[in-house]
Amino acid sequence: MRPFLDKAAPDVWRAAQAYSAAVVEAAEERGLETTATELVKVRASQLNGCAFCLDLHSRQARHAGVPQQKLDLLPAWREGAAFTSRERAVLAIAEAATRLPLTEDSRAEIDAARAELGEDVFVAAEWVAVAINAFNRISILSEHPVQPRDADGRLIRERPTPSPEEKK
């Protein structure tokens, strides 16, 4: 079992958490909605295959008001009309920041995203994408486990199997 990076270097983890909080605060100040922030985090986590972050940010996205249907359709966000032009813009940023290096197509998409969002929101979305990609790597390298949860997102606590004496 690999060491959990957050537990092995708690001082570094606290600095990473402070960085994340600063990114979220700056994103809010620049006009990036919480729902858009969570869509960026979920999409990057999907692309990186980070189960822990997918579990966390899918719950947070629902809590922020992202409908379950949008989360279900996220891998196909370019298809159909489920996502607004603003949501498509932040999702293009999420993909470009996750699938490096930038290609001609991804550059064109993020240029269009910048035009759609404006400079402040565009930069905020890029910072969110950078941050979640870092946290995906922390969780993947640490092999953070996904805990079982019920439909409301509460942890499911497994009860130990009773001994033969306890069954009596």
pTM for this structure? 0.89
Q: How far apart are the first and last CA of the chain?
A: 38
Q: What are phi and psi of 149, to 5 degrees?
A: -135, 155
- The two structure tokens encoding residue 110: 């993020």
Please tell me the CATH code under which domain 34-143 is placed.
1.20.1290.10
Nearest to 53 by CA among 122, 138, 123, 119: 138
Amino acid of residue 7: K
The string of pLDDT tens digits covering residues 8-28 is: 999 999 999 999 999 999 999
| Least confident among 3-7, 14-18, 36-40, 112-116 | 3-7
Supply the DSSP string of the chain, one letter for each residue: -PPPHHHH-HHHHHHHHHHHHHHHHHHHHTT--HHHHHHHHHHHHHHHT-HHHHHHHHHHHHHHT--HHHHHHGGGTTSTTSS-HHHHHHHHHHHHHHSPSP-HHHHHHHHHHHHHH-HHHHHHHHHHHHHHHHHHHHHHHHTPPPPPB-TTSPBPPPPPPPPHHHH-
Please check the confidence at residue 165 and state whether its pLDDT lies above 80.
no
Class of residue 90 by CB neighbours under 10 A (exposed 0-12, middle 13-18, buried 19+): buried
How does pLDDT run across 93-148, given as a tens digit for each residue?
999 999 999 999 999 999 999 999 999 999 999 999 999 999 999 999 999 999 88
